[in-house]
Amino acid sequence: MMRETLDRTWRLVATGFGFAVFFGGGCIAALTILPFVGLSATAPGQRHRRTRYLIHRTFQLYLGMLKGLGVLTVTVTDVRKLESLEGQLIVANHPTLLDVVLLMAVVPQVQCIIKHELWNSRYLGGVMRRAGYIRNDMPAEALIPACKEALGAGSNLLIFPEGTRTRPGEPVRFHRGFANIALLTGAPIQTVSIHCEPLVLTKGEPWYRIPRRRPHFRVALGEHLDTPKLLHYQQRPLEARQLVRRLEAYYAGLL
């Protein structure tokens, strides 16, 4: 009993430290390292790509720190395939706050559609802008070309179709935005599943609510969809609804 109490206390302290490093490190990087990343960039978008690769490496180190501190354990299947993804629309479920870190630590070039609040954030806004991430409040006539340009340049577009973390016990419900992007860009869809047992850092749960056991995250490559082959109807809204239903059923079966 004493050992379990000491373990949970340590994980609580280490988790708090991890949050401080994440937000403090992001702010420091935006002010010190990132401004110099693209100074020698000559090709269009090269600065953004270099910044995103730096974020990838930073998240690898951050995840390694959390594992080293005993906060969590991680298993990633098909690592080589995930590392080699290019120009894919990566669709994943979203059970915890660490999902973005997990995927971006594995996949080198990830483009994201971020909330405009993050773009304007005092702490992380500088990182978002220097990485060239796409704002979610852009008009559709600008958003789709931005996604198509990123995918055409070889970046992978990461989307969580739920829009936010899933509350434990609730069914998976996807928004149609990812389906419209897939159909309008023609990008292939690579599904990824994220499992966490026991669950931690879920929607509405404070960071200091530490489970009795150390959480284990499992990231697995899933179904791959060739988007053009999914077109069966004349109207895109019907195609989008069909794609949403298909992936909702797919993830419901997995989870």
Encode pLDDT of 149-205 as tens digits. 999 999 999 999 998 898 888 888 999 999 999 999 999 999 999 999 999 999 988
- Report pLDDT digits (tens) over 55-70: 999 999 999 999 999 9
The three-state DSSP-derived secondary structure of 47-77 is HHHHHHHHHHHHHHHHHHHHHHCCCCEEEEC
Which fold would CATH assign to domain 2-254? Glycerol-3-phosphate (1)-acyltransferase (3.40.1130)
Domain boundaries, the chain: 2-254
Alpha-carbon distances, residue 25 vs 33, 37, 60, 99, 217 (angstroms): 11, 16, 14, 18, 23
pTM beyond 0.95, yes or no:
no
CA distance 144 to 46: 21
* Residue in the block written with tokens 């999902």: 99
The answer to whether residues 94 and 162 touch, using CB atoms and an 8 Å cutoff, is yes
Place of tokens 């690898």: 60
- Give start and end residues of each alpha helix (H) in 69-212: 79-83, 99-106, 116-119, 125-130, 140-152, 177-185
pLDDT tens, position by position, 108-160: 889 999 888 888 887 778 788 888 899 988 888 899 999 999 999 999 999 99
Kindly report, residue by residue over 23-51, the tens digit of the pLDDT: 887 777 777 777 777 666 666 678 888 88
